[in-house]
Structure formats: structure tokens, C-alpha cells
Chain A
Amino acid sequence: MSLFGQLHLGLGGLRAHQYGLEMTGDNIANVNTPGFSRRRLALSHARPLRVTPVGEIGGGVEAGPITSVRDRFLDSRHRLESSVASADDARHRLLGSVEGVFVEDGGFGFQEELSAMFNAFSDLGSEPESSVFRDQVLSKAQSLIDRMQGGHERLSQIARTIDQDTIRLTAQANDLMERIASLNEQISAIEATIPANAERDARDQALLELSELIEVSSYENEDGSATVTLRDGSSLVVGNQSFALNAVPTPPDGRTSLMLGATDVTSLVGSGEIGGMLSVRSQEIPAHQLALDDLALEMTSRVNTLHRAGYAMDGTTTNVDFFVPFTPVAPGNPQGATMAMSINPTVAADGSAIAAAGAAGAIGDGDQALAIADLASSQTMNGGTATFSEFYSGFVFTLGSDVRRAEASATASSAVAEQVGLQKLEVSAVSLDEEAVALVQYQRGYEASARFIRVVDELTELVMTIGA
């Protein structure tokens, strides 16, 4: 090779090590960038080789391509585990809110109000002529109604919040899908010539964020674009096109459903934050409200049955309900009983209308009030196996157990997702120690190439002086 050729050889070395320095600088700058996968510069022996009497001598170093270091399997697993962890976290968070409605001390105090109402009937049974005790029955009954309806309404408020959050997060998911589609187009265009590392990083990050919202599957096509689908294969992103999800309220309770075109895909969402929220919305909240309705219906029915058989303070008025009777939408369906609870206006307006007496004529007869009070210790719930208090205690146990299970799931799935995330970081993340070494290596390589150029330059000058 001529001296001028060797200059180009030196220049190639300078260029290659300069690329290396720039790439290392890029790695260092992005040491804390979420989703950034460290870059590596591929250096190879440049061709053509020149065969000399003493052996092969190459054409220097060839730089490129710059590739990102990542493990596709770990990426995919991380998305899956993050989706599950997000769902479990959302469930735990929301069930914690539901649990907060029923905290007894200084909070819901349902047990206290339940006991107070039946105790008030007991007091009335002992002094049925007392207007104070009659007013107390009305007051405690109303207080119990307020507590039950307050709890029921707070559950409804949580449900409405979930519906609103679902709409917001669905919009977020749609934005991410649009972004993935756009990145698909860029990757396809760029990778005609060079690896689209930055675009792939951005797309993988968007896929991860999307997985944390809803359960999706994705696979890469030959042209580098990623196809994203729901669990049944319905397409969300194909090439440079995305198909938006719509969060719409559906009757009768305005519960939010997810639509893909005209198809209801709510049940396909599965995991992800939206999936976790929707499961609480469709399972736990209605179940707890129904339990309250069951209690309300049984209690009002039993009290009314006894109250109708009793006599008011005038000694003659009978066959009057204490609570306004509730008409179920279907036989045996207590839905709506809690919010429909109210004291019979006739009784509410005049405490003397409370039927405390068991027989006509005696103002001091409190037998019926005592019978109503005895309902507190009667096993009328759960097919005649539990008192009202025991039923509510069972409800509290179930609620607490649900939250505990959700907490355990969230902790476990979060740990798994974090572990996979750490494994991913182990492969892809930047190590400042490694980059420090790389910096030194590329610096020395650059210096050596520059020194080589200077030597060749000196030789060239020497040759030029030979004929002079």
C-alpha cells in the first residue's frame, strides 16, 4: 500500500474511534433514560486484504453498525409481568378504597348504628308510653338508614371514578397505539439502510406502557414493524395503522365498556391497570352493594312483619309498616333495597304511631317493640344461620380477606415484574464503569490512529526530500 493509502488507513481508524467516542458519550448521557438500551459499535477488519510476501495486511478498521444490546425474550416477559403487576396493583388500590368505606371505628360505624336501633326498640318495649323513647327509635332508625345508604353511595362513587379513569386511561392507550404505529413506519423506513435503535427503544417503551394499561400481545414482522393485538387476536396496531378503543357508558348503571369498532372487548382486556380496575368495578363493588341490599331487605321485611302485627300508642291503630316496603325487581333479588330504605312517613311524622304494643288497648304494653328488638339476636340471614350482626361480621371478614389477597398478589406480581425488569437492565442498561473503560479505549485508539497519521506524514515528507 502506498503512503497515501496508509493515510486513509489511519483516517479510517480515527473515524472509527471517533464514532466509538460519540456512541460512548451517548450511552453515558442516557444512563438514566427509561427504556434506553446501551449501544455497541461493531468494529471489523476492513477489506480488501493485501497479500504481501510477509503475509496479509488489511485495509484498517471498518466501523458499524451501531446496535442496541437487548434481550427480546426479556422484553416480552417484562411486558407480560408488568401488565399483571399493574392489574394487581390497581385491584389492591381500589379494594383498599372499598375497604375504607367500611372501617368501623371513627368511620362507617354500621355495627354501632345497627345495635343502637334495636336497643332503641328494646328501650321502647320497657317504656312504650315514653315519647322520648319513641323519638329515639325514629332517630336511630334514620341514622342506620343514613349509614347504609352512605356506604352504598360511596361504593357507587368509587365505581363512577373507575368509569372516568377508564375513559382517561383508554385515551392514553390510544395515544400509545398511535405512537407505536408511527414508530413502525419510521423503523421500516430507516432499517432499509441502518438499525433504527432509537426508534426501537421508543417503540419498546411505548409497548411496555401500553401493556401496563391493557393486556396485549405483540410480534415483529419482517419489515421491522410490530403488530399489536388483544388476547383474541383482534388488531390494535398493524404497520402504520392503529385501531382506537372506545370507552363508552353502557346501561343500566353506566358501567364503562371498551369497544373496538362495534365489538365489546371489555372481557378481553384482562390484565393491565384498566383490566384491574374493571374487574373491581364488575365484581367486588356490585357484590358488596348486593350484600348491603340483602341485609337491608331482610331487616326491613322482618321489622315490618312484626310492626304490622303491633298496635300504636292509641291502642287501636294496627297493620302499619315501620319502613316503606321495598318491591324487588325480581323475586328474591334485593338489588336497590338499600337506597330505597326509608321510614314510613306516617310513623316518621308521629312517634306515637310506632306499634310497640302486642295487644290492643294497653299503653304500657311494649311486647311488640321487644319482639322487634329480639330480631337482633334472631338468625334470619344466610338462610336462617346468621343474625344481622353475624352477617355483617362475615361481610367484614370477606372484605378484609379480599384486600389481603389482593395485597399479596400485588406484592408477588410486583416482585416478579421488578425481578424481570432488573434482568432486563442487567442486559440493556448502561454501566458507567463499562463506559469509562470504553472511553479510555476509544480515546487511546483515537490517539494511536492520530499518531500513526503523523508518522505516515513524516515518512511522506522524508520520501519527498529524497529526490530533492
Chain B
Amino acid sequence: MRVPTQLQGAGALTELDLIRSRSQRAASELSSGLRVQKPSDDPVAASRGNQIRDRLSQLEHYREGTGRAESEVHAVDNVLDQLERLMDVAITSGARGRSGLSTPTQFQALADEVDSIREEILRLANSEHRGSSLFAGRQTRTQAFVDSGGVVTYQGDSLAPTSRVGDQSVVETTIPGDGLFVTGGDVFQVLADLRDALASGDTDRVRIEMQNAEQVGSRFTDFRARLGSTMQELSRHSAHLSSENVLEQTNLSREIDTDLVDAISRLTAADQALQAALGAGGRLLTISLMDVLG
């Protein structure tokens, strides 16, 4: 085989280019930490990575939504807690009046106490969370209850706002005011009646209104129990989202991140090959008969 001078150089250069290319690839992976930097590096992994990223974005969005939902549910629970306490105080007042041992002045004092509880419950019924009414259903920019001449009217609707917390998964984070405060016994009317009964000193009537108040108090407790279940579900859901997030991050890393040990090995091997090729090329290219013949 005839080996002209250009052939020696061309062959050595081609080999050097190949080795440098391998070295550069390994170095790029090490510096970026990514095995798949563009789709052609691994089309399947790039495509899967894309879908995993989409899923991670969704999970993050659901986590934020779950957080907001939890915040709102806690706000409602806080109100329900106060409602329960207030109803207990109202019922206690009623019990003291029913005993028949009170004087007219004491009856009036009890009536005033119940009236102030009614006012406080009205204030709580109009609670807001992040600028939106908690108990007006979907009429979130509307004050839930209005007191007009002693008559309290509900201005919201019967639909609860929902929050998206998962795939096809929504949760109701508040309770429409009509269901909580009105249906099954209008708490404002019940307390007004109790107040009037105490003011009149009519113990029989006080006993009847106390029963109504106890029913309202039980309803508050029932709603709180349901809300507690929702809070637990949200908490479990949040933990599940976190776990899935970790899993998907792991999957993404498996698809597109580089194996550092492998990349370092390849870089080392390429460096050694480069040194050998440079040495061999250098020796071959400098030898010629021209140097020998005098």
C-alpha cells in the first residue's frame, strides 16, 4: 500500500477529531449535568422529559391550589369554632333564664347577652378571606347577610366555590351561608326569639327557644366535623402531591441527567486516547526519507 505524505496527515487528523469530539461531549455533560441537552441527544428521553416537566408543573400548581384551599378551610374552621363557643354561651344564658330564679333585671341582662351574641354571629357570618365573602356561596363579592330593621336576610347563593387540587379533583372550601346559618333553623331568628323570651321572663318560651338554639349549635358542630374531614383529606392530598413530585423529579433526572461517574470515565478515557494519538501522530509525521538522505 502506497502511503503519500498527505495521507499520513489526513489519517492522524481524522482520528484526533474523533477523539476530541468524544472528549468534548463528555466535558459538556459534566459541566451541564445533563445527558440530554437537546432532542437529538436522545429523542425518546427528550420526549419523556417533556411530559414529566408538564406533570411537575401540574403538581406544583396543585400544591399551590391545595395550600390556598387549606388556608380557606382553616379560616372557615376558625369561624365555626367561634360560632360553637358563642352558641354554647347563648345556650348557657338560656339555661340560667329557664331556671326561673332570675329577677327581671337578670332576665334583661341575659337577653342583652344573647343579643350581643347574635350581633357577633352576624359579624362572623359576614367574614371575608382574601377579600372574598366566606359564606355568600358564589356571590363572593357580596356581603352574605344584611340586618334590616332586625330582620337578617341572606344575599348569597346556595353554591359553594370550588378549588382545583388535583387531576379532575375539586374541593369545596367554604359553606354557603344559607345552609350553615338558615336551613334547619335560622340562627339569627332563633337567637332573636331567645332574646325576646329572656326579656319577657317567659321560662316556657325560653325552654323552647333553647331547644332551637341547641339544634343550631349541633348543626354548627356537624358542619365542623365535615370540614375537619375535608382538612384531613387536604393534608393527605398535600403529602401525596409532595411524594409524587419527588417521584417525578427522580424520573426526570433518570431521563435527562448525566451519570457523573460514567461521564468522568469517558472523559478520562478520551483524554488518554488523545495523548496517545498526539504522540503517535507526532512521531509518524516527522519521519521522512528526506531527513535521512544527505
Q: Does A389 contact B (CB under 8 A)?
A: yes
B40 lies within 8 A of A99 (CB): yes
Within 8 Å of chain A (Cβ to Cβ): is B261?
Answer: no
Which residues on A sit within 8 Å (CB–CB) of B46? 104, 396-397, 400
Interface range, A side: 35 or more
Using Cβ atoms and an 8 Å threshold, which residues of chain A touch B141? Answer: 129, 363-364
State whether A364 touches B164 (Cβ < 8 A). Answer: no
Q: Is the interface of A mostly helix, strand, loop or mixed?
A: helix
Q: In the complex, which residues of chain B have a beta carbon less than 8 angstroms from the beta carbon of A361?
A: 157
B4 & A425 in contact (Cβ 8 Å cutoff): yes
What chain B residues lie within 8 Å of A377 (beta carbons)? Answer: 167-168
Give the interface centre of B37, B41, B44, B51 by most chain A CB atoms within 10 Å.
B51
A362 at the binding interface (Cβ < 8 Å): yes
- Give the distance in Å from the alpha carbon of A367 to the alpha carbon of B170 in the complex: 11
Q: How would residues 135 to 163 of chain B score, 1 for a CB under 8 Å from any chain A CB and 0 otherwise?
A: 01111111000000000000001010111
Determine whether the beta carbon of A431 is less than 8 Å from that of B3.
yes
Q: Are B47 and A396 in contact (CB under 8 A)?
A: yes
Could you tell me which residues of chain A, from 421 to 450, have a CB within 8 Å of some CB in chain B? 421-422, 425-433, 435-437, 439-440
Question: B137 and A115: CB pair below 8 A?
Answer: no
| A103 & B7 in contact (Cβ 8 Å cutoff) | no
Q: How far is the CA of A37 from the CA of B136 in the complex (A)?
A: 94
The docked-state distance in angstroms from the alpha carbon of A364 to that of B50 is 34
A123 to B61, CA, bound (A): 8
Contact check, A436 vs B293: say whether CB atoms are below 8 A apart.
yes
- Over the window 392-406 of chain A, the binary record of Cβ atoms lying under 8 Å from chain B Cβ atoms (1 yes, 0 no) is 111011111111100
9 more A-B contacts (CB under 8 A) besides A99-B38, A365-B138?
A99-B40, A104-B50, A115-B53, A363-B141, A364-B138, A364-B161, A397-B39, A398-B43, A407-B40
Q: Which residues of B contact A (CB under 8 A)?
A: 1-7, 10-11, 14, 34, 37-44, 46-51, 53-54, 57-58, 61, 64-65, 68-69, 130-132, 136-142, 157, 159, 161-164, 167-168, 170, 288-290, 293
Q: Using CB atoms and an 8 Å cutoff, list the residues of chain A in contact with chain B.
A: 31-32, 38, 96, 99-100, 102-105, 111-112, 114-116, 119, 122-123, 125-127, 129-130, 361-367, 370, 373-374, 376-377, 389-390, 392-394, 396-404, 407, 418, 421-422, 425-433, 435-437, 439-440
CB-defined A-B contacts under 8 Å, sample of 10:
A31-B6, A32-B6, A119-B61, A122-B65, A127-B68, A364-B136, A370-B164, A400-B40, A403-B39, A436-B288
